[in-house]
Amino acid sequence: MITTKIIFDRKHQAKKDGTGTIEIRVTVARRTIYISTGVRVSEREWKAGKIVNRPDAPALNERLGIIYEIVDREANRCIKDGQPINTAAIKKKVWNEKNAMSDEPSFLDWFDHQTEILNLANGTVKHYKSLHTRLVEFGKIKQWIDITTENISEFDAWLHKRKLSNGEAITDAAVYKYHKCLKAMLNRAVTFDKIDRNPYDRLKFKRGESENIEYLTEEEMNAIVKLKVPKGTQIEVAKDLFVFQMYTGLSYSDTQAFDFSKYKKVKGKWVNTGERIKTGVAYVSSLLPPAVAVLEKYGWTVPKIDNADYNHLLKVVGTMAEIPTKMHTHLARHTFATWMLRNGAKIENVSRMLGHTNIRQTQRYAKVLAESVHEDFDMVAAKMKKKKDKGE
**Residue-wise pLDDT tens for the chain (392 aa)?**
678 889 998 888 777 767 888 888 888 777 777 877 778 888 999 999 999 988 888 888 988 888 888 888 887 787 777 777 666 677 666 666 555 444 457 889 889 888 888 877 777 888 899 999 999 999 889 888 788 888 899 999 999 898 877 778 888 878 888 998 999 999 998 888 788 788 898 888 876 554 467 889 899 999 999 999 999 999 999 999 999 999 999 989 889 889 999 899 888 888 888 777 666 677 778 899 999 999 999 999 999 999 889 999 999 999 999 999 989 998 999 999 889 888 888 888 888 888 887 777 777 777 766 666 555 566 667 767 777 777 76
Q: For residues 27 and 32, what is the distance between their CA atoms, to the nearest angstrom?
A: 4
Distances (CA, A) of 227 to 142, 230, 236, 265, 316: 52, 10, 10, 30, 12
Q: For residues 195 and 43, what is the distance between their CA atoms, to the nearest angstrom?
A: 21
Q: For residues 252 and 177, what is the distance between their CA atoms, to the nearest angstrom?
A: 19
What is the rounded end-to-end Cα distance, in angstroms, of the chain?
A: 88
Q: What is the pLDDT of residue 135?
A: 93
Q: What is the pLDDT of residue 94?
A: 67
Q: Is 272 helix (H, G, I), strand (E, B) or coil?
A: strand
Please state, as a whole number, how many other Cβ atoms lie within 10 Å of the Cβ of residue 130: 14
Q: Is 170 helix (H, G, I), strand (E, B) or coil?
A: coil
Q: How many residues does the chain have?
A: 392
The answer to whether 310 touches 244, Cβ cutoff 8 Å, is no
Q: What is the pLDDT of residue 103?
A: 46
Which among 310, 301, 298 has a CA at the least distance from the CA of 235? 310
The answer to whether 203 touches 155, Cβ cutoff 8 Å, is no
- Numbers of helices and strands, H then E, in the chain: 15, 8
Q: For residues 323 and 7, what is the distance between their CA atoms, to the nearest angstrom?
A: 66
Residue type, 74: E
Cα dihedral 331, 333, 334, 338 sign = positive
The answer to whether 278 touches 295, Cβ cutoff 8 Å, is no
Q: For residues 215 and 238, what is the distance between their CA atoms, to the nearest angstrom?
A: 17
Q: Which residues contact 118 (CB under 8 A, 6 or more apart)?
A: none
Which contacts (CB < 8 Å, 24+ apart) does range 371-376 have?
none
The answer to whether 202 touches 259, Cβ cutoff 8 Å, is no
Question: What are the φ/ψ torsions at residue 84 (nearest 5 degrees)?
Answer: -65, 145
Phi-psi region of 214 (alpha: psi -120 to 50; beta: other; left: phi over 0): beta
Which among 140, 137, 163, 164 has a CA at the least distance from the CA of 153? 140
Q: Which residues contact 231 (CB under 8 A, 6 or more apart)?
A: none
